[in-house]
Amino acid sequence: AQSVAQPEDQVNVAEGNPLTVKCTYSVSGNPYLFWYVQYPNRGLQFLLKYITGDNLVKGSYGFEAEFNKSQTSFHLKKPSALVSDSALYFCAVRDSGYSTLTFGKGTMLLVSP
């Protein structure tokens, strides 16, 4: 079975500082990895994905994520946080042999002015 772990319920960072939101995964085949963001009372918005190729992937709004196969991680990063980045972030995985999309529990990112 596939699974995703987001070890932090909340991440606090000051505006202008770099941010990292952690994600680890478990799959039996090759992972397809995704990050989504959810603002209050809204649906989930797709940010970025790793399917194959470069381990560092870039996405919307200046976000990027690094795929690390040996550590089975896919951490979300941004060099300089904005207050408007404050939201709930979800990591998700699809197993190449089982295409259901499984989500982590989410990490609340709070960026203070």
Partner 1 sequence: DARVTQTPRHKVTEMGQEVTMRCQPILGHNTVFWYRQTMMQGLELLAYFRNRAPLDDSGMPKDRFSAEMPDATLATLKIQPSEPRDSAVYFCASGAEWTEAFFGQGTRLTVV
The answer to whether 44 contacts partner 1 (rule: CB under 8 A) is: yes
What is the C-alpha to C-alpha distance for residues 87 and 72, in angstroms, rounded to an integer? 24
Write the DSSP symbol of residue 46: E
Based on the shown chain and the rule CB under 8 A, indicate whether residue 90 belongs to the binding site for partner 1: yes
How far apart are alpha carbons 91 and 47 in whole angstroms? 10
Structure tokens at 55: 């381990």
> In this complex, which beta carbon is closest to partner 1, that of residue 50 or of residue 85?
50
The window from 18-26, 44-52, 62-70, 76-84 that contacts partner 1 (CB under 8 A) reads 44-52
Does position 32 bind partner 1 by CB under 8 A? yes
The tokens for 94 are 């699809």
Asked whether position 106 contacts partner 1 by CB under 8 A, the answer is yes
DSSP helix/strand/coil, 19: strand
| Residue number, 19 or 47, with CB nearest to partner 1 | 47
* Separation in Å, CA 39 to CA 55, 57, 78, 108: 27, 22, 17, 10
Q: Any contact of residue 105 with partner 1 (CB under 8 A)?
A: yes
Residues near partner 1, by CB under 8 A: 32, 34, 36, 42-46, 49, 51, 90, 94, 96, 99-106
